[in-house]
Structure 1
Amino acid sequence: MKTSIIGFPRIGAKRELKFATESYFKNQSSQTELLAKVQELKSQNWKIESESQLNFIPSNDFSLYDNVLDVAFLLNIIPKRYRNLGLDNLDTYFAAAKGYQGKAGDVKALPMKKWFNTNYHYLVPEIEDDAHFELVGTKIFDDFSSAKNLGYSTKPVLIGPFTFLKLATYKNKKASDFATEISNCYIQILEKLNLLGADWFELDEPALVKDLSQADIALFNEIYKPILSSKGTVKVLLQTYFGDVRDIYEDLINLSFDGIGIDFIEGKASFDLIKQHGFPSDKTLFAGLVNGKNIWRNNYQKTLDSLDLLSQSAKNIVLSTSCSLQHVPVTVTSETNLEHHVKASFSFATEKLDELEELAELFEQNDQRENSTILKANQELHQSFKRAENPEIKERLASLTSADHVRTPIRSERLKIQKKRLKLPLLPTTTIGSFPQTPEVRVNRKNYRTGEISKAEYEAQLKSFFKEVISLQEDLGLDVLVHGEFERNDMVEYFGENLSGYVFTKFAWVQSYGTRCVKPPIIFGDIQRERPITVETSAYAQSLTSKPMKAMLTGPITILNWSFPREDINHESQATQIALAIRDEVLDLEAAGLPIIQIDEAALREKLPLRQSDWYSEYLDWAIPTFRLTHSGVKPETQIHTHMCYSEFEDIIQAIDNLDADVISFEASRSSLDILRGLKANHFETEVGPGVYDIHSPRVPSIEEIEQVLHKILQIIPQEQVWVNPDCGLKTRRNEETIRSLKNLVLATKQVRTTLVRNETL
């Protein structure tokens, strides 16, 4: 049996890509140095994959920033505002990725959205009416040739044309208007791969696992029939992941693909599709049976049973991962601080390559499997794997009733009480929570962690940071203040460190977007709050100002979704355990006098099932009450905020309103505030703070720009319902650009307030 993967982490085991790219952004290194580091990382990946005896080694799975953006530049889909900067190709690419502000001009970055049901963010292609698909890039060919020169025979990987068109945004045209052009480009790619001697070409089409209309299926066939008729000697693999292909399976097996990749981890209907319709003997099934998203050791016997079942219907099978391994860390070998029994439970990207090799070997052994020392060791591992269970938590969960998920009185009555208490002006200004993690902040945390300073010294320095940032906010004129979160390394890991049931890694980084990496904590047992987490810090911050202080918490759904979850109990149970811990924290914050408590649910939509029919039954029916559980016990005068990150919210607006928060802020600056029309259409009751500028870009918005954004907001949302804030936390930004941006935000808001008052008096 042969083995394959869809992609491998590109950030490097110690985030080498992040540091090399950011060094280039800061003009501390040259393009030549950056590209040399990139080539080094690619070569390392190919070496690791080759040494694991992987049969289908991917090339072109590596990206400097984002694979979707790579396709746009490969096919000449570059909006004019970036072309007109007159920069070279690499700097134009980065301008589209993160915005640009300099001598050549001032442009915002492309919008970002979550990559299907993951925490990875892709850059949304923007196809202008006069755009023309042309094969102008060479990256896919350069990567294949580079690997070949190093002695590696690879399978070039590229996001497929259907998914690219479905992810893109359009002005007046639609996806079908570009079907012929994009087909021709992929035909040209195949022609070049034929000349270069490629054996296989993988086209990733994750959009096929979503609900497909007849028009979608027709578009897919229109695009692919000419491509497949021109493939030459290169075999074409149609790769899907994150779900099943129930709407189009019969079309796929009847088209002349040489291989079809199917996800058997998240694809609920995948086994039934194979059983019901069979699998053609002239095609190869790339069976995604090793979980590409989670970090637990594969259960070999379970996977072998699945392979045996599939082999009854499919003659040719390649064992594969369920999705790209970019969603897990690089290797567990670096985690020297973990206890042996904990570390033995984990399988990161490199270890999953070993699992593929061992599973392929076991499958070939047939009747001799049960005598295999490899299989016995794997079985013993899973039999010895025990969780730290807590009877007290189970009892508390069992005692919950529906009343525990309902806050009284109703929101409209609460808001009246809160307005009297807070006495905020029209269009209150605030931030999302975090302020820049300066070198001084990081050094303070590092010195405490390594024992170079005492806890008292560490906390004294923290208090100094808090005083500075509160004084800064008062000077800027913000209405609702935050303490800056200088004690927090990460919005999930920080809370996990104060909850039982979590374990933590040192180098288990995963790319979130571009150069931004996160280190998800791992849920290892039952979860309970061990001690108050933020109460002392938030109370101290409130004591420094007469303005309302907003306490900052991360919500249970986000903590779960941005952790590596357990696989032995369902997500609802894990989220409810976390919710009870956050509820305890909320009530303690209220008792300490904090008037506003923000419970961030940045990742609420992230795990929404990709098929709309499953939204409520499999997710929202428990996710919404779980959030409500965190704040249902507070008094009417305590104002509850929440925040959500880049996602497509328009289709779940009612569910968001049902969170029953008093105020919600969300990232909107890159999406042209499209969500506002949805809020109005759905009679959204919660007060809202649409982000008025993009914090993922270093560019500083002008006063006039923010004023224009506010006037657009006020054309749709009643002024009494609007808050003004950046679109996300400021942790990743520098102080200089943060201060300038917030100053402009406050000044713009004051000018708009003056205009509103003037208009009312006329």
Structure 2
Amino acid sequence: MSRLLPTSTAGSLPKPAWLAEPEKLWSPWKMEGDQLAESKRDALLLSLAEQQLAGIDIVSDGEQTRQHFVTTFIEHLSGVDFEQRETVTIRNRYEASVPTVVGPVAREKPVFGEDARYLRAQTGGPIKWALPGPMTMVDTLYDAHYKSREKLAWEFAAILNEEARELEAAGVDIIQFDEPAFNVFFNEVSDWGIATLERAIEGLKCETAVHICYGYGIKANTDWKATLGSEWRQYEEIFPKLQTSGVDLVSLECHNSRVPMDLIELIRGKKVMVGAIDVASDRIETPEEVAGTLRKALQFVDPDKLYPSTNCGMAPLPREVARGKLKALSAGAEIVRKELAAAQAKPTHHQGEESFAAS
């Protein structure tokens, strides 16, 4: 990406009301069959246009063709029974009724390849595609077959790698793996979480990203955040391990969070997607607030490695709020770009002395 501070979203954007009930996760589709397929494509085009109008540099599908960032991928796999459901505690935070792994998991055909090719055909700019990470997939299921979170994660990692290679072939520039579970299961991250993520990105030549956040702006997540104290230091556990991994970009939550910004120092050398937009609030940030978050981050990440983004997906937000937040993200990034350009153009006293001496 040649532009300084290229902006992007972490993932989902709100769906139009004619496609699914707005401001809701796992919202059922309002139509079916060919009409649903066409409507999903229409929503993808609309989402792309809204990102472009807002000035977002690295665009995505806005996850318009999926009900949920994890389960839609799992729906396409064999070995998982969506009729046989169990209640589990997801991310140690909230209970949910989830499908059951009843046999060997396998991907019998591509899941997102056709959608990715469609998005690629609509724009010449860089595109990013999000996939669920292996650990987060494991944490969103009841496993009655492998009876081992690690074994199931390795199976998912191999499946994700197949999918990612096809997305790369479809022209995707950045493939992002969503791993909110990394902020919860620290021992597992060390034991096999990073290793299975490395398996998922194996052999890819496009850029890869891992998105680790504190979750959508839903009540279960905001309640959990309220218990985390004055400093959220979860990243301290996992960043040193990610710093030595093969992942190119690390996406994290910063704005309106209690994450100490200096933790970014632990992933020095990586590109960093800095969450400068709060997805747990309907209040639209000002461009100056976004710029303030980016300026703080620049103390710990070089300008050519800073990618302004949203904290997480925005599917549960009203559409007009999401639009406003995207515009604020772009405008805030532009403020800081201009500041960086001005600082670069301004000769320092030291440079002046050197040129004087040379003359």
Interval containing the TM-score (normalised by the shorter chain): 0.7 to 0.9
Q: How does 1:60-209 map to 2 (within 5 A)?
A: none
CA distance in 2 between counterparts of 1:480 and 1:549 reads: 5
User: Equivalent residue for 2:197?
Assistant: 627
Aligned-pair CA distance for 1:679: 2.8
Alignment-derived partner of residue 446 in structure 1: 29
> In structure 1, what is the equivalent of residue 208 of structure 2?
640
Give the structure 2 partner of residue 470 of structure 1: 48
Q: Which residue of 2 aligns with 1:347?
A: none
Quick check: 1:520–1:564 contact (8 Å CA) kept in 2?
yes
Q: What amino acid is the match of 1:621?
A: D
Where do residues 672-691 of structure 1 align in structure 2 (5 Å cutoff)? Answer: 672-674=258-260, 676-680=261-265, 682=266, 684-691=268-275
Partner of 1:699: 283
Partner deviation per Cα, 1:197-222 (whole Å, 9 max, x = no partner): xxxxxxxxxxxxxxxxxxxxxxxxxx
Residues in 1 aligned to 2:127 and 2:14: alpha-carbon distance in whole angstroms: 18
Once the two structures are superposed, residues 230-259 of structure 1 have per-residue CA deviations (whole angstroms, 9 ceiling, x without a partner) of xxxxxxxxxxxxxxxxxxxxxxxxxxxxxx
Higher relative contact order (CA 8 A, sep 6+): 2
Per-residue CA deviation, residues 527-582 of structure 1 (Å, 9 max, x unaligned), is: 11121001100110111111111122111111012222347532221111111110
Given that 1:653 and 1:684 are in contact with CA atoms closer than 8 Å, whether structure 2 keeps it comes out as no
1:669 aligns with 2:239: no
Instruction: Give the aligned partner of residue 750 of structure 1.
Output: 334
* 1:622 partner SS: helix
1:511-550 paired onto structure 2 within 5 Å: 518-550=96-128
CA distance in 2, matches of 1:688, 1:606: 20
Over 3 Å counting, the alpha-carbon distance change for 1:750 and 1:469 in structure 2 is same
Instruction: Note the aligned Cα RMSD (angstroms).
Output: 2.4
Note if 1:596 corresponds to 2:174.
yes
Give me the whole-angstrom Cα distance separating, in 2, the residues matched to 1:658 and 1:491: 27
8 Å Cα contact 1:445/1:458 also seen in 2: no
Letter of the 2:239 partner, please give it: I
Q: Please give the secondary structure, in 1, of the residue aligned with 2:208.
A: strand
Contact 1:499 1:527 in 2 (8 A): yes
Residue 511 of structure 1 and its aligned partner are, at CA, apart by: 7.9
Q: Is the 8 A contact 2:161 2:199 kept in 1?
A: yes
Shift of 1:507: 8.2
Whether the 8 Å CA contact 1:698–1:733 is kept in 2: the answer is yes
Summarize the Cα distance change of 1:512–1:583 in structure 2 as closer, same or farther, 3 Å threshold: closer
On the 8 A contact 2:84/2:100 being kept in 1, the answer is no
Give the secondary structure class of the aligned counterpart of 2:181. coil
3-state SS of paired residue (2:9): coil
Q: Report the secondary structure of 1:699's partner residue.
A: coil
Corresponding position of 1:432: 10
- Partner Cα distance (1:705, 1:432) in 2: 18
Contact residue 11 and residue 60 of structure 2 kept, 8 A:
yes
Tell me by how many angstroms 1:589 deviates: 0.9
Is the CA contact 1:561–1:607 (under 8 Å) kept in the aligned structure 2? no
SS at the partner of 1:467? helix
How far apart are 1:517 and its partner, in Å? Answer: 7.4
Could you say which residue in structure 2 is the equivalent of 1:565? 143
Aligned equivalents of 2:201, 2:89: Cα separation in 1: 31
**CA displacement, residues 593-628 of structure 1 (integer Å, 9 cap, x when unaligned):** 2122112112123222xxxxxx3xx65232211110
What secondary structure does 1:724 align onto?
strand
The whole-number CA distance in structure 1 between the counterparts of 2:64 and 2:117 is: 15
CA contact (8 A) 1:492 1:521 kept: no
In the alignment, the residues of structure 1 paired with residue 281 and residue 88 of structure 2 have an alpha-carbon distance, to the nearest angstrom, of 20
Deviation of residue 697 (structure 1)?
1.5
Q: Quick one: structure 1 residues 516 and 750, their matched pair in 2 at CA, closer, same or farther if it must change by over 3 Å?
A: farther
In the alignment, does 2:299 pair up with 1:715?
A: yes
Secondary structure class of the residue paired with 2:42:
helix
1:620 maps to a residue whose letter is: S
Question: SS of the residue aligned with 2:20?
Answer: helix
1:552/1:599 contact within 8 Å kept:
yes
Q: What is the alpha-carbon distance in structure 2 between the residues aligned to residue 692 and residue 757 of structure 1?
A: 21
Contact 2:120 2:170 survives alignment (8 Å): no
Counterpart of 1:460, as a letter, is E
Counterpart of 1:633, as a letter, is: G
Match of 1:456 in 2: 34
Once the two structures are TM-superposed, the CA of residue 509 in structure 1 deviates from its matched residue by 6.9
Partner of 2:235: 649
Residue 561 of structure 1 aligns with an amino acid whose one-letter code is D
Cα deviation, residue 670, structure 1: 3.5
In structure 2, the CA distance between the partners of 1:625 and 1:516, relative to structure 1 (3 Å rule), is closer
Structural mapping, 1:210-359, within 5 Å: none
- What letter corresponds to residue 118 of structure 2 in structure 1? Y
Structure 2 residue 78 is matched with structure 1 residue 500: yes
CA deviation profile, 1:17-59 (whole Å, cap 9, x unmatched): xxxxxxxxxxxxxxxxxxxxxxxxxxxxxxxxxxxxxxxxxxx
8 Å CA contact 1:561–1:606 kept in 2: the answer is: no
Distance in 2 (alpha carbons) for counterparts of 1:428 and 1:702: 18
**Separation (CA, whole Å) in 1 of partners of 2:54 and 2:64:** 19
Contact 1:700 1:741 in 2 (8 A): yes
Contact 2:279/2:310 (<8 A) preserved:
yes
1:353 corresponding residue in structure 2:
none
Q: With the length of structure 1 as denominator, give the TM-score of the two structures.
A: 0.40
Q: CA–CA distance in 2 between the matches of 1:428 and 1:673?
A: 22
Over 3 Å counting, the alpha-carbon distance change for 1:567 and 1:526 in structure 2 is closer
Which AA in structure 2 matches 1:458? L
- C-alpha distance in 2, partners of 1:518/1:733? 21
Change (3 A) 1:568 1:683: closer
Which runs of no fewer than 5 residues in structure 2 stay unpaired?
22-26, 215-231, 347-359
Distance 2:6 2:183 in 1: 26
Contact 2:47 2:61 in 1 (8 A): yes
The structure with more radius of gyration: 1
Contact 2:101-2:145 at 8 Å conserved across structures: no
- Give the conservation status (yes or no) of the 8 Å contact 2:190–2:241: yes
Q: Is the 8 A contact 1:465 1:486 kept in 2?
A: yes
Contact 2:146 2:152 in 1 (8 A): no
Which consecutive unaligned segments of at least 5 residues does structure 1 have?
1-421, 609-614
Residues 602/477 of structure 1: CA separation in 2 closer, same or farther (3 Å cut) = same
Corresponding residue for residue 554 of structure 1: 132
Is residue 12–residue 314 contact of structure 2 (8 Å, CA) maintained in 1?
A: yes
Letter in 2 for 1:643: H
Quick one: structure 1 residues 738 and 469, their matched pair in 2 at CA, closer, same or farther if it must change by over 3 Å?
same
What's the CA shift for 1:441?
A: 2.2
Cα deviation for residue 592 of structure 1 reads: 1.5
Partner residue in 2 for 1:574: 152
Q: Is the 8 A contact 1:692 1:727 kept in 2?
A: yes
AA partner of residue 431 (structure 1):
T
Secondary structure of the residue that 2:184 maps to in structure 1?
helix
1:261-283 C-alpha deviation (Å, 9 max, x unpaired): xxxxxxxxxxxxxxxxxxxxxxx
Q: CA deviation digits over 1:271-311, x for unaligned, max 9? A: xxxxxxxxxxxxxxxxxxxxxxxxxxxxxxxxxxxxxxxxx
- Describe the SS at the equivalent of 1:716: coil
